[in-house]
Each structure stands twice: as C-alpha cells, then as structure tokens.
C-alpha cells in the first residue's frame, strides 16, 4: 500500500446507453467518452458496457463474450495509452466454456486486473454466468487504491467492508439497474461510502434492452456520505468529481477533539460476527 501524502485526482463516471451484441459500436462510444473526459485519471463505464447484458441463453452469451485481455480491451487500452488514463469497463467474459459478468481494469499499458461479479441476481446474463470468487482484490494504481463491485454486489454490505479492510480508497460499482432499483440507487451508494469511510461511485446505464429499461441515477459519494455528483434517470452524461484519497485513509473521525471520536473500522467486533459466515 502506498503511503501518504496522496494527491487529488479527477474521477469520471460515464452513464451511457449500450447496444446489445454490437461490440464495435459500444467500444467506439467508450473510446469517444474517454476522450471527452478531460482531466480525468480514471474513467468508469457501466456493467456489460462492451457487450450488452440481457442475453437469453448461455449459447447466445458465449457468441458475444470475449477474453480479457481480448480485442475490445486492446482497443480501450490504446486510448488509455494516448490519454494517460485508467478505465474500468464491463463486459461478458469468456474463460474456456464458462462466461462471467466481469470488469476489466485497464491502464496505459494494457489490462491490469479483472473483477468477476460475485453475487448473481436472476436477470439477463446472470442467469447463466459463473460466480466470481475474488471479492477482496484492491488495486494500487499509484494515485488511488481501487476496489470493484458489480451491480447486485452492492446490496451486500460485506463486499464493500471487505474492500475497505483491504485498504480501498475508492470503490466503483458499474451496474445495470432496471426499474425497481431506484431506492438503492438513491440511498445505498451514500450508505456504503459513509459506513466504510471510502469514496463510492455507481455507474449505471440508460436506455432499453429487450423490454428492460435501465434507470441511470449514477452517483459519486465522498467518505462522509455526501453526494459529490449525480445523474438523472435517462441521459447519457459524464459525472466528474475530485477524489482525495487522504480523506478515505483517515478512518478516525474526531468530532470533539480529545472528547468524542469514532473509527468504524477499528471499533468493529469481529469476535461477534461469526454467524455472518454461516449458511
């Protein structure tokens, strides 16, 4: 883990529409949005932004799935190299006979890491995807320590807490929220940030796909649970906010110096939490 002091940087969250199965179109849009995110060092795109999401069979999903690294991540990496940025972007990943709902973390030199969705809802490609098992990976990019979740993972507070315990300054949640997810979009993001003293950013898509409408409402929250930027429910847009990792690393919050402070990580009682790991 890199020591303090840290520098501030600009985060861009790209709320966009996606065409199911039209990878060349989607990648071209992603490249364009990266170029539009002036000043950003990290750009985040929605869940399955490269491939689309609402596949109706494993065979159909396999036809559009790609390896990581693969053709699409190579194109994104080229733009990352030109712009000197890092990107988190979602796609259906193929690994032998399995598919995963995955995120690729890409830097100027190519793919840095992969996150595979851990908690799978009963919707779209998640009907057929295999579950990921690397929920605690945090990537030190030099300017920030980054944790990743996807969509439904955010509904499980253990996922964010685990990443916070591993040292994440920022947790990103690329998502495809359909109708019905409005309450989590509006309240869950700030809660995850507040309870873990981290920056937390959701990146949703908009538009319609096979009868599902995606609700947008992307958001960036600071470690105090305050909203730094938020999007509407229908527009393609780029949210930007300044991230100061040093704030996320100050877990002790002094409210009255010497008399009243809290530390939501140090004050935990793991000795009492055993039932959380029981089925």
Domains and CATH numbers, the chain: 9-250+257-277 (3.60.110.10)
10-residue mean pLDDT series, the chain (279 residues): 71 98 98 97 98 98 98 98 98 97 98 98 97 96 98 97 98 98 98 98 98 98 98 98 98 94 96 93
The total number of residues shown for the chain amounts to 279
- pLDDT at residue 5 in the model: 59
Catalytic, 47? Answer yes
In this structure, how many other beta carbons lie within 10 angstroms of the beta carbon of residue 87?
29
Alpha-carbon distance 137 to 195, whole Å? 19
- pLDDT at residue 46 in the model: 99
**Marked catalytic residue, from 43, 66, 80, 117:** 117
Catalytic, 117? Answer yes
Of 126, 125, 90, give the one whose Cα is nearest residue 105. 90
Residue-wise pLDDT for 249-267, tens only, equals 999 999 999 999 999 999 9
Residue-wise pLDDT for 83-133, tens only, equals 999 999 999 999 999 999 999 999 999 999 999 999 999 999 999 999 999
User: Residue 166: is it exposed, middle or buried by C-beta count within 10 angstroms (0-12/13-18/19+)?
Assistant: middle
Query: pTM of the predicted model, to two decimals?
Result: 0.97
**Marked catalytic residue, from 31, 47, 66, 93:** 47
Catalytic, 251? Answer no
Whether the bond between 69 and the residue before it is cis, its omega within 30 degrees of 0, is yes
**Marked catalytic residue, from 151, 203, 209, 230:** 151
Alpha-carbon distance 8 to 71, whole Å? 32
């Amino acid at each position: 883990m890199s020591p303090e002091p840290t520098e501030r940087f600009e985060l861009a969250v790209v709320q966009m529409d996606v065409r199911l199965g039209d990878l060349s179109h989607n990648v071209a849009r992603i490249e364009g949005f990266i170029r539009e995110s002036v000043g950003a060092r990290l750009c985040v795109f929605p869940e399955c932004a490269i491939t689309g999401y609402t596949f109706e069979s494993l065979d159909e999903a396999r036809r559009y799935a790609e390896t990581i690294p693969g053709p699409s991540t190579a194109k994104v990496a080229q733009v990352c190299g030109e712009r000197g940025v890092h990107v988190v972007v979602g796609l259906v990943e193929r690994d032998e006979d399995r598919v995963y709902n995955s995120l690729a973390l890409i830097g100027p030199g190519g793919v840095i890491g992969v996150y595979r969705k851990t908690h799978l809802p009963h919707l779209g490609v998640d009907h057929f995807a295999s579950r990921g098992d690397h929920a605690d990976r945090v990537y030190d990019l030099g300017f920030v320590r980054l944790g990743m979740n996807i969509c439904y993972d955010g509904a499980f507070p253990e996922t964010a807490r685990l990443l916070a315990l591993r040292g994440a300054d920022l947790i990103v949640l690329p998502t495809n929220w359909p109708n019905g997810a409005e309450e989590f979009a509006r309240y869950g993001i700030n809660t995850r940030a507040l309870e873990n003293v981290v920056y937390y950013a959701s990146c949703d898509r908009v538009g319609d796909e096979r009868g599902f409408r995606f609700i947008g409402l992307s958001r960036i929250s600071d470690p105090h649970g305050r909203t730094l930027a938020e999007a509407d429910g229908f527009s393609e847009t780029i949210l930007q906010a300044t991230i100061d990792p040093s704030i996320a690393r100050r877990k002790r919050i002094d409210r009255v110096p010497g008399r009243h402070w809290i530390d939501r990580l140090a004050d935990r009682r793991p000795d009492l939490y055993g039932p959380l790991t029981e089925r």
